[in-house]
Each structure stands twice: as C-alpha cells, then as structure tokens.
C-alpha cells in the first residue's frame, strides 16, 4: 500500500512544500505517469506527484496510479494554497467533497455533485501535530492553525485530505510555512524512521469518530474537540453544505419531509464516506447547536435517527 502526495507547479503553496520534502533524504524518480505529463518520485511507501494544472483538476489520481503501477493506494494527500476574504495567514487541514450539490450542478472547484471522498483518518492527529510544529517554528500566533469544512475536488476514491497555506501570495510563498508543511508529512508518514502519526488501524483504541454538522467554514466548535488528544474526525459539513429550505419553519415537529434542499443527501453521503474511512469505528454526529435554528436541529436530529446515527457530546469523543 502506498500514500500518494500531490502538488502542482502552478501554485507556490503547493510546490514549495513538495520541494522542501524532496530535499529530505531518500527520494528517487519514479516516472510511472510521465506519459500523462506527471512527474513522480518515490520514498519508501510514499509517492510524490507533480503536475502543472490546477490542484482540483486532475481527477482519479489514485486509480490512475494503481492502473499504471499495480501498487494499491492507501490515501491521497494534496498540497495547496488557501484563500480567504480575511486574507489572514493560515495553515489548514480539511476533507474534500461537494455532497450538497445536485446532479447537473456545475462544481465551482472540481469534484462531482453529490460526492465526497473518504476523509483521511490522519486529519485529527495531523492537525494537532501541525499546531505543535507551527508553534516550534514560531509561526503561531501569526498563522492560524485550523480545520476547514468539506469542500471542492478533485475526485478521489481513497481517503483524502488537503494541506493548505493561506491566504495571500505573500504567505503562499513563505518558505518557513512550506517547511512546516513538509515536516508534517515527513514526520506524519514516518519517513524519518519514527512511527507514523494517525494510523487508524493501529491507534484506534478510541473508536468514536466525529462527523461535524453545522457551523462556519472553519468549524470552530468542532475543532475545539478535535484539538484534544485522541480525537478522530471525518467530514465537516458547514452550514452552506446542508442547505435547508422550509417555508413553514417553526411548524416542523420532527417531520423532515417538508424541508427542501439537499441537506439529507449531504449528511448521508458524508456519513457513508466517513464510515468507509474508519472501518470498525462508530461515527457520531456532532452538531454546532448555536449555528442551527430550532426547526433545523429538530429536522437534522430526526433524520440522523432515521439513519441510526447517534449524536455525540464533546466528552464522547475524548
């Protein structure tokens, strides 16, 4: 089983961490996708791919690698830039997917409507390790260390996460931020000889997994829990990812049939993708109650019951 890392030369926040990683020992060329315009390098059970398109455009790299090499892919990790209206410097980790879009919708940043990749189980442990690395390299408090909600593509089938540097050109080019992201991957995958960080199969003595529902894009109430040691996290559905249309709002009493929007589809897809990424785990929904109106909480709670998904409190995940 191999881990695929993906970077694009068109984005300094993507290629700079990749180049910093390649400067570390053990890498050799592995030209398996060269005919597709993709450079690749190998180090133990890790494969680093370079292409020159937008990071969200190259779909199915996991399948394409398997077909080209015969190697089974375990996970896919992307380096990318992060943009934000605030322009605040940030280092972020997030799962990918657009489970709330309807068939026929045009995805704004890759992916397929109604799809979500399995979330990489390493996200929670790596977020905590990223915070330690950023602190030790004096990037905090200048840089915010944060999760993001599930969004954008490209399409993958294996557990996936994005590692991003934000939020403007000045910070995308910061070599100290690139070095921290490279170290996160180097140490997180155990390339230096120490144990890898966040292996679900080995570290799953606590088998509860957080599925975040509601809240803003940076999932602050979910992140408060994920920053605690031993917590595992799957998909994070921000408010925009659970669109709910209800003309009678306050009149809804546990009946979800009258509420339009793709919120049910989004929750179901995110739950199934999360469950597939954590075999043997119990996925619990964590609701950002303050972000949801009463009728929304009632409807979501009722639908979670239909899917047999339990709602977890903060202490349930620790």
What is the three-state SS of 163-202? EEEEECHHHHCCHHHHHHHHHHHHHHCCCCCCCCCCCHHH
Distance, CA of 207 to CA of 204 (rounded, Å): 6
pLDDT at 296 over 80: yes
Q: What is the pLDDT of residue 206?
A: 60
Residue ranges, comma separated, of all CATH 3.40.630.50 domains in the chain are 2-189
pLDDT at 11 over 80: yes
Q: What pLDDT band is residue 202 in, cutting at 50, 70 and 90?
A: low
Q: What pLDDT band is residue 200 in, cutting at 50, 70 and 90?
A: very high
Residue ranges, comma separated, of all CATH 3.40.50.10700 domains in the chain are 202-307
Q: What is the pLDDT of residue 303?
A: 96
Q: What pLDDT band is residue 37 in, cutting at 50, 70 and 90?
A: confident
What tens digit of pLDDT does each residue of 231-266 get?
Answer: 999 999 999 999 998 766 545 555 677 789 999 999
First to last CA, the chain: 30
pLDDT at 115 over 60: yes
pLDDT at 32 over 80: no
Q: What pLDDT band is residue 205 in, cutting at 50, 70 and 90?
A: low
- Decide: 270 and 314 in contact? Cβ < 8 Å: no
Q: What is the pLDDT of residue 258?
A: 79
Q: What is the pLDDT of residue 57?
A: 92
Average pLDDT over residues 269-287: 96
Query: Candidates 3.90.700.10, 3.40.630.50, 3.40.50.20, 3.40.1210.10; correct CATH number of 2-189?
Result: 3.40.630.50
Query: Candidates 1.10.10.10, 1.10.3720.10, 3.90.1150.150, 3.40.50.10700; correct CATH number of 202-307?
Result: 3.40.50.10700
Q: What is the pLDDT of residue 169?
A: 92
What tens digit of pLDDT does each residue of 70-93 get?
Answer: 999 999 999 999 988 888 999 999
């Amino acid at each position: 089983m191999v881990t695929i890392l993906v970077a694009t030369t068109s984005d300094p926040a993507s290629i700079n961490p990749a180049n910093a990683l390649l400067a570390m020992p053990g890498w050799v060329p592995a030209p398996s996708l060269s005919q597709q315009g993709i450079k690749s390098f190998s180090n133990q059970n890790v494969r680093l791919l370079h292409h020159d398109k937008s990071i969200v455009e190259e779909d199915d790299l996991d399948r394409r690698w398997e077909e080209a090499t015969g190697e089974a892919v375990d996970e896919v990790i992307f380096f990318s830039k992060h943009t934000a209206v605030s322009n605040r410097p940030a280092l972020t980790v997030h799962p990918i997917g657009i489970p709330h879009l309807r068939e026929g919708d045009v995805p704004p940043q890759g992916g397929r409507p109604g799809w979500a990749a399995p979330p990489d189980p390493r996200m929670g442990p790596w977020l905590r390790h990223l915070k330690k690395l950023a602190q030790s390299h004096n990037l905090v408090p200048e840089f915010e260390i944060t999760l993001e909600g599930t969004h954008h593509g490209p399409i993958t089938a294996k557990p996936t996460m994005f590692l991003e540097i934000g939020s403007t050109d000045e910070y995308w080019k910061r070599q100290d931020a690139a070095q921290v992201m490279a170290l996160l991957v180097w140490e997180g995958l155990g390339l230096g000889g120490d144990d890898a960080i966040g292996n679900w199969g080995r570290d799953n003595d606590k088998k509860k997994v957080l599925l975040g529902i509601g809240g803003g894009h940076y999932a602050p109430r979910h992140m408060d829990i994920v920053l605690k040691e031993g917590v595992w996290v799957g998909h994070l559905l921000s408010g925009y990812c659970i669109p709910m249309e209800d003309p009678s709002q306050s009149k809804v009493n546990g009946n979800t049939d009258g509420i339009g929007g793709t919120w049910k589809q989004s929750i179901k897809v995110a739950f199934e993708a999360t469950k597939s990424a954590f075999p043997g785990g119990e996925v619990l929904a964590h609701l950002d109650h303050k972000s949801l109106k009463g009728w929304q909480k009632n409807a979501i709670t009722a639908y979670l019951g239909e899917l047999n998904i339990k709602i977890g409190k903060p202490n349930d995940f620790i």
